[in-house]
């Protein structure tokens, strides 16, 4: 299995050493630890010195400080195990950062993805009306693909993104009791499907109430298999191959 999106820099993991040490025993072939500001991006890049650990770097919409020139983040994209730019995007739900400022930093970073020829990890929350037109505009220019991380919108929107050639990644919320995402899960073709935990957040059933960990990606894979009418091994194989292709993991 690969956890295609987690945050090993969270203080809960105390540096991430235990998670990394136990990866093989936990059935994890690789994991991608995702940065969201200059500090966590640099830390993710450092963690990627470990076997099987890969990093992304970027400025999350909730972490924007106006005037930031991204100088602490973008140069990290030259490191070999920094495999993507992200997570970046728009979030109109949780944060007070003005929408125009969010859009400015989002598009600055999409521009950087072109310059550095890296795939992009997208965070999108309560902003579908702005996100889709922006991404439609950029889809043809992006040199190395894009993933909608922790996808939780409709099947219709999933189909729009699939038409643009984007990957769709599902996380723990698909396992929640009142999840109504079966049709979105089925709207994604095999070759664009990814699984993630977004650890330490969004702990899947049956571990609600605990902190999440990358090995819990198995419960997401299990649910994807159930909704797609196939078995765990098939979805494990597909999501592993896709994560390797998307992130350029050997």
SS (H, E, C) the chain: CEEEEECCCCHHHCCCHHHHHCCCCCCCCEEEEECCCHHHHHHHHHHCCCCCEEEEECCCHHHCCCCCCCCCCHHHHHCCCEEEEEEEEEECCCCCCCHHHHHHHHHHHHHHHHHHCCCEEEEEECCHHHHHHHHHHHCCCCCCCEEECCCCCCHHHHHHHHHCCCEEEECHHHHCCCCCCHHHHHCCCHHHEEECCCCCCCCCCCCCCCCCCHHHHHHHHHHHHHHHCCCHHHHHHHHHHHHHHHHCCC
The residue ranges that bind Zn ion (CB under 5 A) are: 198
CB of 38 to Zn ion, least distance (A): 16
* Peptide linkage before 200 cis (omega within 30 of 0): yes
Tell me how far apart the alpha carbons of residues 176 and 173 are, in angstroms, rounded to a whole number: 5
Residue whose CB is less far from Zn ion, 5 or 181:
5
| Min separation Cβ 221 and Zn ion, Å | 18
Q: Which is nearer to Zn ion, 3 or 198 (by Cβ)?
A: 198
Q: Which of 165, 174, 167 is nearest to 149 (CA)?
A: 167
Output the smallest distance, CB 123 to Zn ion, in A.
7
Provide, rounded to whole angstroms, the least separation between the CB of residue 17 and Zn ion: 20
CA distance 134 to 130: 6
For Zn ion, the closer CB: 37 or 198: 198
CB closer to Zn ion out of 174 and 226: 174
**Of the two residues 35 and 145, which places its CB atom closer to Zn ion in the complex?**
35
CB of 229 to Zn ion, least distance (A): 29
| Chain residue at closest Cβ approach to Zn ion | 198
Q: Which one, 40 or 242, has the nearer CB to Zn ion?
A: 40
In the complex with Zn ion, the residue whose CB is nearer, 145 or 200, is 200
Supply the minimum distance, in Å, between the C-beta of residue 223 and Zn ion.
Answer: 19
Task: State the minimum distance, in angstroms, from the CB of residue 5 to Zn ion.
Answer: 6
């Amino acid at each position: 299995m690969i956890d295609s999106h987690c945050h090993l820099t969270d203080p809960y993991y105390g540096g991430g050493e235990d998670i990394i040490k136990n990866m093989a025993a936990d059935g994890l072939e690789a994991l991608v630890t995702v940065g969201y500001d200059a500090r966590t991006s640099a830390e993710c890049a450092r963690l990627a010195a470990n076997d099987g650990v890969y990093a992304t770097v970027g400025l999350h919409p909730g972490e924007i400080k106006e005037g930031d020139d991204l100088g602490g983040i973008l140069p990290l994209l030259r490191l070999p195990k920094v495999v993507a730019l992200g997570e970046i995007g728009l979030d109109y739900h949780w944060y007070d950062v003005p929408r125009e400022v969010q859009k400015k930093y989002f598009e600055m970073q999409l521009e950087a993805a072109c310059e550095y020829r890296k795939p992009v990890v997208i965070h999108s929350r309560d902003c579908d009306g702005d996100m889709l037109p922006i991404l439609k505009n950029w889809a043809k220019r992006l040199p190395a693909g894009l993933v909608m991380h922790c996808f939780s919108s409709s099947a219709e929107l999933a189909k729009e993104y699939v038409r643009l050639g984007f990957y769709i990644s599902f996380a723990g919320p698909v396992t929640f009791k009142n999840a109504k995402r079966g049709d979105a899960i089925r709207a994604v073709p095999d070759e664009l499907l990814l699984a993630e935990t977004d650890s330490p957040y969004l702990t899947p059933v049956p571990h609600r109430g605990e902190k999440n960990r990358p090995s819990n990606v198995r419960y997401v894979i299990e649910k994807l298999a159930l909704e797609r009418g196939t078995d765990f091994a098939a979805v494990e194989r597909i999501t592993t191959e896709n994560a390797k292709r998307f992130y350029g993991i050997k």
